[in-house]
Amino acid sequence: MSDFREYLSYRRDHLLEQTLEHAQLVLYAIATATVVSVLIAVLVYRRERVAAVALAAVGALFTVPSLALFALMIPIFGLGFRPAFIALTVYALLPILRNTIVGLRSVDSAVIESAQGMGMNRLRRLVKIELPLAWPVIITGMRVSTVMTVGIAAIAAYINGPGLGGDMLEGLARIGAPVALHMVLASILLVVALALLFDLVYLALGKLTTPKGIT
């Protein structure tokens, strides 16, 4: 146990860097997935059939095993940050898209009617009324996606992606060697810690950004 503590302090800078890389990868993927999901949701939420098709398509991508998806990225995007980022974005889509559609649809129809009756055009209604009211549901989707993506991002190491997955794979490959187990344990712990941290940040962010009138 004291060995492990020694390992952590010895490799502190390296581990910190890996964690930050990991977090950065996740954040980029979530940010992109959010923008894409909200755009898709805005286009489809009022049309039942189209929305079902969009959700089915994104859902199908979601069910591809992560290892397979990462492998599929290689011929198109090669190795490294780019394919990892794209694969994670694809995974993050489903929860955000689904929640955005649900959130937009759950806005009280009387509120929309009165907005329309006052002469708010489609864009203004969306920006001023519908998205702010759907926001708590959307951010919940982002939270789910983020926690999930933190885990999947570790696997991105298979395609040379950044983050804590590198140590994890290396440790697993060299199991039996002196610090191999420490490498694995440290990266697992940090992934879990990162997931928990993100979760807390979202909780706070949700509280802060939810309009006062709808809490």
Partner 1 sequence: MTAGATSNGDSRALIRLENLSKRFPGQKQNAIDNLSLDIPEGEIVILVGPSGSGKTTTLRMINRLIEPTSGRIFLEGEDVTSVNGDKLRRRMGYVIQQIGLFPHMTIETNIATVPRMLGWDTKRIRTRVRELLDLVGMDPEVYAKRYPKELSGGQRQRVGVARALAADPPVLLMDEPFSAIDPITRARLQNEFLQLQTKIRKTIVFVTHDIDEAIKMGDRIAILDESSHVAQYDTPSTILAAPANAFVEDFIGAGASLKRLNLTHVADVHLLDWPTMPVSAERDSVRAALLRSDKGSVLLVDDARRPQRWVNAMDLEHGSIPLAESGLEAPVMQRTATLYDALNEMLNSLQGATAVVDENGAFCGVIDIETVAAAIRKMREEARLVYRGEGGSPREPALAGAERGGDGDVRGGSDFGGAAPGGGDDFGAAAAGGGDA
Which residues contact partner 1 by CB under 8 A? 108, 110-121, 124, 129, 132-133, 211-214
Q: How far is the CB of 73 from partner 1 (least distance, A)?
A: 40
Alpha carbons 169 and 157: distance in angstroms, whole number: 7
Q: Give me the least distance between CB of 111 and partner 1, in Å please.
A: 5
139 by Cβ neighbours in 10 Å (0-12 / 13-18 / 19+) ranks as: buried
104/68 Cα distance (integer angstroms): 33
Quick one: 12 or 46, whose CB is closer to partner 1?
46
Distance of closest approach, residue 130 Cβ to partner 1, in angstroms = 10
Give min distance, CB of 106 to partner 1, in A.
12
The smaller minimum CB distance to partner 1, of residues 14 and 124, is found at 124
Closer CB to partner 1, 75 or 213, in the complex: 213
Residue 37 exposure: Cα atoms within 13 Å on the Cβ side: 32
What is the closest distance, in whole angstroms, from the C-beta atom of residue 38 to partner 1 in the complex? Answer: 17
Closest CA to 127 of 139, 138, 135, 136: 135
Nearer to partner 1, 49 or 212 (CB): 212
For residue 177, the cross-strand partners are: 175
C-beta of 8 vs 112, nearer to partner 1: 112
* Residue with Cβ nearer partner 1 (55 or 134): 134
AA letter at 13: D
Q: In this structure, which long-range contacts are made by residues 59-68, counting pairs with CB atoms below 8 Å and at least 24 apart in sequence? A: 59/94, 61/90, 61/91, 61/93, 61/94, 62/90, 62/91, 62/93, 62/94, 66/91, 66/152, 66/155, 67/155, 67/158
Three-state SS at 210: coil
Q: Shortest distance, CB of residue 209 to partner 1, whole angstroms?
A: 11
Residue 177 φ/ψ, nearest 5 degrees: -70, 160
